[in-house]
Structures are given as structure tokens and as C-alpha cells.
Amino acid sequence: MTLTDDDTAPLSSLFSCGGDVLAARACACSLLAHSPAPPALTGQARLILTAACLHIQAGIGPDPTVGELRDLLLALGSGATAWMALASSPIQFVQYVAAEFADSADGSLRSAIGLAVRAVNAPAL
């Protein structure tokens, strides 16, 4: 079974952090574990996934779904609107990540988001 077999399945098996940054990071690490990439790219994807997990949990509640996480990641890859939502998040870490990537003009941001999307789409263990 993959995470994407059921877009409405909650991420609770991986993600039950209740706003805890380190627990959200652990979730991101779990997702990225099966999507090998260069360390710098993995680090960027981990930041993006951590912020995305925290952001959707703050906005949706304790049980964000796989589909909601993927939709947010895809939105981050397609324009500034999703990044503005992260920048206005009530969670300071999410605001920080949005600020870090706000001025990213190179392809590394797109690559990191692509890696994050692939990690969400990767088979779950």
C-alpha cells in the first residue's frame, strides 16, 4: 500500500505532533527515508515538509490527510499564494520556512518541492 492509495487517509500513523516542530520533522524524515537525494536537497525538502505538516495541522486539525498534504506541496510548487499562506501562519517556524524560501530564484526550491511530493507519493512501510 502507498500513502496515495487513499487520499482521505489521515497521516496519523506518521504524524501526531500537535504542533510539535520536532515531531513534524520526524514525520518529514519518515516520508523522505525512501526518497534518496543529495543531502542539501533532502534538507530543503525536510524543511518544506515539516512546515507543510505543521501548517495543515494548524489549519485543518489533528488529522490532516495524505491528499491535503500533497495538495499543499503542489500549491507551493505552483505559485506565491501558498507561500503567502505559510508566511501568515500562526506558527513561527512555518513563517521562518516561508521567509527562507521567499527569495529563492534558483531551481533548488522546485527540486526540493518535487522531492517532497515524491516522498508523499512513495510507498509507506
- Residue 86's contacts (CB-CB under 8 Å, 6 or more residues apart) are 51, 52, 55, 76, 94, 95, 97, 98
In this prediction, residue 15 carries a pLDDT of 57
**What would the pLDDT profile of 3-31 be if each residue is shown by its tens digit?**
445 565 556 555 555 568 888 898 899 88
Q: Cα dihedral sign for 38, 121, 25, 93?
A: positive
What does the alpha-carbon distance between residue 61 and residue 17 come to, in Å, rounded to a whole number? 11
Residue pair 99/87 in contact by the 8 Å Cβ criterion: yes
Residue 2 has pLDDT above 50, yes or no: no
**What would the pLDDT profile of 63-115 be if each residue is shown by its tens digit?**
778 888 999 999 998 877 888 999 999 999 999 999 988 877 667 888 999 99
Which of the four pLDDT bands, split at 50, 70 and 90, describes residue 48?
A: very high
Residue pair 113/48 in contact by the 8 Å Cβ criterion: yes
In this prediction, residue 3 carries a pLDDT of 47
